[in-house]
Structure 1
């Protein structure tokens, strides 16, 4: 059985680890290639796009794929919808693996928005020194906010267009609460912007912002394509793959 894992996330790597070496199971991990030095999962790995829905559909047929797990980032909407259309065209089962989103708790000052453009419109009324943790791909939305100063954290260096007054911090999670507290203090941050990526690796910034009484602009995550089943942890996804083969659950499960 050939399973394609659309990955690039911690959950995708964990799923590959759970399934790697299973007799009769071939794994191919697909990475978008947006990170210069990705953490490679076990199994075969391909890097780069498929060329749209048509390219992905042809790839699934050419390589004899039997099932697809979309374990991409919650905001990687394009590949998610391409996977839904390509698997429908090839009559293959598709599962979405999505880490749970964050939930506000008492003391949080969240401003939930639907897009990066909406986040940019909110910012001038909330602060002047912005900790921007939305990744390097969407900085154009903030490029015209010349009156604000941005601390941008990303894995790789961003390219223009981006804010004029900006300091870049190249780093990769997981991050600690003490580290996030110190970062907010050292850079005199008065507002935080983030996407609802979920998970524990980058959540400490939310706790640090709550403790400091800072507003946080949270971009809501987009929906999974209609009709695609969703699980929230790699163990559930691994069981789904095994069910497709009619095998017993993974050892210890």
Structure 2
């Protein structure tokens, strides 16, 4: 993608999406960048360039937007668990004839000392808890709380950027916070609340990883919800540098 100024649409909201927008905005003669945010966070950190908020109206709506706004490349930098949006992006890009790249931070991997219990869903995590502990640090995000709402036997510490809405467990304490988090801060939080089991999604990245190190050092079990599969046939890179290489002349045909 060389020569004239290129319009890149970033499906963002992640650290990687903001980083790519910042890199492209630094060269306005070459790139026009638009970032699309889902609108689930009340006060998101806005990237540079044009920003739109909210859904497109499914696959057809996104394909229409790509055509109407003369998008030259689509980068799916959504959260690793935004499976529906990634599927829509793949179908829309194919329909509109726009090259698509997945920008996916690598997932976490266990190391010696970890006591991980992988599951495929929040419901699977909820089913494991009776055998693991009674004081749960639940960091799967507010959209998955309903899976745990029927558990009155356990106490839950729920961390979220915005206040969660019901349903959620009856014995719940909410802490509103946004990463990145530190090891010392996570250890203080978990020991103060006498947490004996951690539940998390395999989001990857450094911003929320310290809780895993704390759980390891405290000998706590960790229930890890696996990522949904990425759309088949979509090229992917793990970082902003890889996305820039692809945009500047990599294999956009995938």
TM-score calculated relative to the size of structure 2: 0.95
The alignment status of 1:15 with 2:20, answered yes or no, reads yes
Q: In 2, distance between residues paired with 1:14 and 1:63?
A: 22
In the alignment, structure 1 residue 60 sits paired with structure 2 residue 38: no
Aligned counterpart in structure 2 of residue 6 of structure 1, from 3, 11, 17? 11
Q: Which moved more, 1:236-245 or 1:65-74?
A: 236-245
1:147 aligns to what?
A: 153
- Tell me which residue corresponds to 1:116: 122
Q: Give the direction of change, closer, same or farther, for the CA distance of 1:245–1:209 in structure 2 (3 Å limit).
A: closer
In 2, the alpha carbon distance for the partners of 1:182 and 1:26 equals: 44
Q: Is the 8 A contact 2:64 2:96 kept in 1?
A: no
User: 5 Å matches for 1:84-163?
Assistant: 84-163=90-169
8 Å contact kept, 2:11–2:35? yes
Give distance in 2, aligned partners of 1:228 and 1:164. Answer: 42
Structure 2 stretches lacking a partner, 5+ long: 1-5
Number of residues of Structure 1 aligned to a counterpart in Structure 2: 246
Q: What is aligned with 1:212?
A: 218
Give the drift of 1:239. Answer: 1.4
Match of 1:200 among 203, 206, 214: 206
- Mapped to 1, the partners of 2:46 and 2:249 lie a distance apart of 26
The structure 1 residue matched to 2:188, chosen from 182, 198, 201, is 182
Pick aligned residue for 1:33 from 30, 39, 60: 39
Q: Residue by residue, what CA displacement relative to the aligned partner does 1:84-133 show, whole Å, maximum 9, x if unpaired?
A: 00001011110000001000000000000000010000011100000000
Give structure 1 stretches of 5+ with no counterpart.
Answer: 247-253
Secondary structure at 1:150's aligned position in 2?
strand
Listed one character per residue, the Cα deviations across residues 156-185 of structure 1 (whole Å, up to 9, x for unaligned) are 000011111000000000100011111111
SS at 1:96 equivalent = strand
**Displacement of 1:244 after TM fit?**
6.3
- After superposition, the C-alpha distances for 1:195-236 in whole angstroms (9 at most, x for unaligned) are 000000000000000000000000011111000001000111
Secondary structure at the aligned position of 1:164 is classed as coil
What is the Cα-based RMSD across aligned positions, in Å?
Answer: 1.2
Residue of structure 1 equivalent to 2:78: 72
Instruction: Show the counterpart of 1:249.
Output: none
Q: Spell out structure 1 runs of 4+ moving beyond 3 A.
A: none
Aligned to 1:166: 172
Normalising by structure 1, we get a TM-score of 0.95
